[in-house]
């Protein structure tokens, strides 16, 4: 009998196993496939590797600094091989070796939840005083005529197949307008691939509208063909795939399906209550409807039922483990930073302005442009802005008046800058707290303070570090 049995070896599952082991538990992880789940194997890590490679190519060929010029050649086979080597090394060091260090038993095989204390793996039953479900999610494949045939022929794929390719197609059509399509369409276009993106509603619809429109314009200017339409059929035409949509059709050598993700609830045997987003219903302690069973990560349906984030999954795993071991930890979704790794990136945390207005809270919001800080000029990257959303003074919950409710960073190094706002929300800081903060100079951090100063003055009419 184990103290804790974790069903799933992805980000949430491994984080839960490690935390439980640190707290003195005897832990087993039941896992099918490579450890690390989506993020390290076919998600965050390989995608950011390609994004960074594409960024370096663009910056070298279009330098800001006069007197410097370069022409970059891309050997895709070598690049993809290097990407896989990085994935393998990170999986070994951050997942396999870490679990080994904490003496966590790894039971390989497809596990099913039998009851509140039992996970069945083949003919074997693995029992635990507490169980943490972390079975993750998989790409959602829409019912489009001809799509499954194209996938069977290796001419259409999701992220799971794409990051296993040995050769890069010369042209790709994306179905979907979310983070994956935005990030990879820009990166691949920069690497010389002909790219089109077909999406039905708003591009990056889970971000604030101002950010969505910014990225749409950004990608269009970089040669990504954006098509707002509904895909009606997929047909193989020789060595190409023809994607038909409500406004016509487009052909490419390959099709990338980026139409969202679906929680892997099948191994749960119908024992756990599901939420409206199709994932396992949990409370802030990550407790499920079955006493003694916790759930963490993508199987809970993602943030707002749409955003499947590694950092959120890992934190949920830690919270689940602490509580499974008798502690009292809570997961706060409002403090989770969310990043779309375009260039510049779109990073957000907390409440969107649209949510605050629709929810009747109202929003006192201000923004500052990146071109107002010296760091943008010294680095040749002045495109973007930083926006802060605060609870208005009239908000009925007095303890929240004037506090930072959310933030949006569309700027170079946004994935780093947003962490300051995540901490601000976690600690309940106000705009005044940021104004009193002194960032280094020259740095993009100065723009955070300027966004706070924007509540009282025009941030473009201040000297460096002024205000």
Q: What is the pLDDT of residue 393?
A: 75
Give the three-class secondary structure for 84.
helix
- In this structure, the strands spanning 105-108 and 27-31 are parallel
Segment 58-82 mean pLDDT: 95
pLDDT at residue 221, rounded to an integer:
97
Confidence category of residue 466, pLDDT binned at 50, 70, 90? confident
Residue 201 — pLDDT band, cuts 50, 70, 90?
Answer: confident
Distance of CA 359 to the CA centre of its chain: 25
Dihedral sign from CA coordinates of 230, 231, 233, 239: positive
Phi, psi (5° rounding) for residue 264? -85, 85
What is the pLDDT averaged over residues 355-371?
Answer: 93
pLDDT score for 399 = 53
| In the predicted structure, residue 308 carries a pLDDT above the cut 80 | yes
Average pLDDT over residues 57-65: 94
pLDDT digits (tens, 9 = 90+) for 378-431: 999 999 999 999 998 766 555 566 799 999 999 999 999 999 999 999 999 999
Buried b (16+ CB within 10 A) or exposed e, 262-278: bbbbebbeebbebeeeb
Closest among 244, 230, 258, 231 to 158, alpha carbons compared = 258
* Half-sphere CA count of 241, side-chain side, radius 13 A: 32
Helix, strand, or coil here: 32?
coil
Look at residue 31 in the predicted model and tell me its pLDDT: 98
Q: What is the pLDDT of residues 217-246, one digit of tens each?
A: 999 999 999 999 999 999 999 999 999 999
201 versus 311: the higher-pLDDT residue is 311
> Which pLDDT score is estimated for 202?
83
CA distances from residue 152 to 147, 157, 240, 285 in whole angstroms, order as listed: 9, 9, 14, 41
**Distance (Å, whole) CA 46 – CA 37:** 13
pLDDT tens-digit map of 176-192? 999 999 999 999 999 99
Give 323's pLDDT tier (boundaries 50, 70, 90): very high
User: d(Cα 250, Cα 234) in Å, to the nearest integer?
Assistant: 10
Of 359, 354, 334, residue with least CA distance to 426:
334
Which domains can be identified in the chain, with CATH numbers? 2-139+262-325 (3.50.50.60), 142-258 (3.50.50.60), 344-454 (3.30.390.30)
Q: What end-to-end distance do the CA atoms of the chain give, in Å? A: 62
- Structural contact between residues 253 and 171, judged by C-beta atoms closer than 8 angstroms: yes
pLDDT average, residue stretch 103-120: 98
In this prediction, residues 254-275 reach a mean pLDDT of 97
Report d(CA 467, CA 78) in Å as an integer.
50
CA distance 396 to 425: 18
């Amino acid at each position: 009998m184990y103290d804790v049995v974790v069903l799933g070896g992805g980000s949430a599952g491994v984080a839960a196993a490690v935390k439980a082991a640190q707290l003195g538990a005897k832990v087993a992880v039941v896992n099918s496939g490579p450890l690390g789940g989506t993020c390290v194997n076919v998600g965050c890590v390989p995608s950011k590797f390609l994004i960074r490679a594409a960024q370096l190519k663009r910056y070298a060929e279009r330098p800001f600094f006069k007197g410097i010029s370069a022409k970059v050649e891309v050997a895709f086979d070598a690049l993809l091989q290097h990407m896989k080597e990085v994935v393998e090394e990170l999986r070994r060091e951050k997942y396999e070796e870490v679990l080994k260090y904490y003496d966590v038993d790894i039971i390989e095989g497809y596990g099913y939840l039998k009851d509140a204390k039992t996970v069945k793996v083949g003919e074997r039953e693995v029992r635990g005083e507490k169980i943490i479900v972390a079975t993750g999610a998989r790409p959602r494949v829409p019912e489009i005529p001809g799509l499954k045939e194209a996938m069977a022929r290796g001419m259409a794929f999701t992220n799971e197949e794409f990051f296993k390719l040995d050769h890069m197609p010369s042209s790709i059509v994306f179905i979907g307008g979310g983070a994956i399509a935005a990030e990879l369409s820009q990166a691949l276009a920069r690497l010389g691939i002909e790219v089109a993106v077909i999406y039905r509603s708003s591009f990056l619809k889970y971000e604030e509208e101002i950010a969505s429109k910014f990225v749409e314009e950004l990608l269009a200017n970089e040669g990504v063909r954006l098509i707002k339409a509904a895909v009606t059929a997929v047909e193989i035409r020789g060595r190409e795939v023809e994607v038909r949509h409500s406004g016509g059709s487009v052909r490419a050598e390959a099709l990338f399906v980026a139409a969202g993700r679906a929680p892997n609830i099948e191994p749960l045997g119908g024992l756990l209550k599901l939420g409206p987003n199709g994932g396992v219903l949990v409370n802030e302690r990550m407790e499920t409807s079955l006493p003694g069973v916790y759930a963490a990560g993508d199987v809970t349906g993602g943030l707002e039922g749409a955003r499947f984030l590694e950092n959120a999954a890992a934190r949920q795993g830690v919270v689940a483990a602490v509580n499974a071991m008798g502690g009292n930890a809570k997961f706060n979704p409002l403090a989770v930073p969310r990043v779309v790794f375009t260039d510049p990136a779109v990073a957000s945390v907390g409440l969107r302005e649209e949510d605050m207005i629709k929810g009747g809270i109202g929003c006192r919001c201000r923004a500052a442009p990146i071109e107002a800080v010296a760091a943008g000029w010294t680095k040749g990257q002045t495109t973007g802005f930083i926006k802060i959303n605060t609870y208005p003074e009239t908000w009925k919950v007095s303890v929240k008046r004037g506090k930072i409710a959310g933030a949006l960073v569309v700027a170079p190094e946004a994935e780093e800058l947003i962490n300051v706002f995540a901490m601000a929300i976690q600690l309940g800081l106000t705009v005044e707290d940021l104004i009193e903060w002194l960032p280094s100079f020259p740095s993009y951090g100065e723009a955070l303070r300027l966004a706070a100063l924007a509540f009282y003055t025009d941030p473009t009419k201040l000297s460096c570090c002024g205000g």
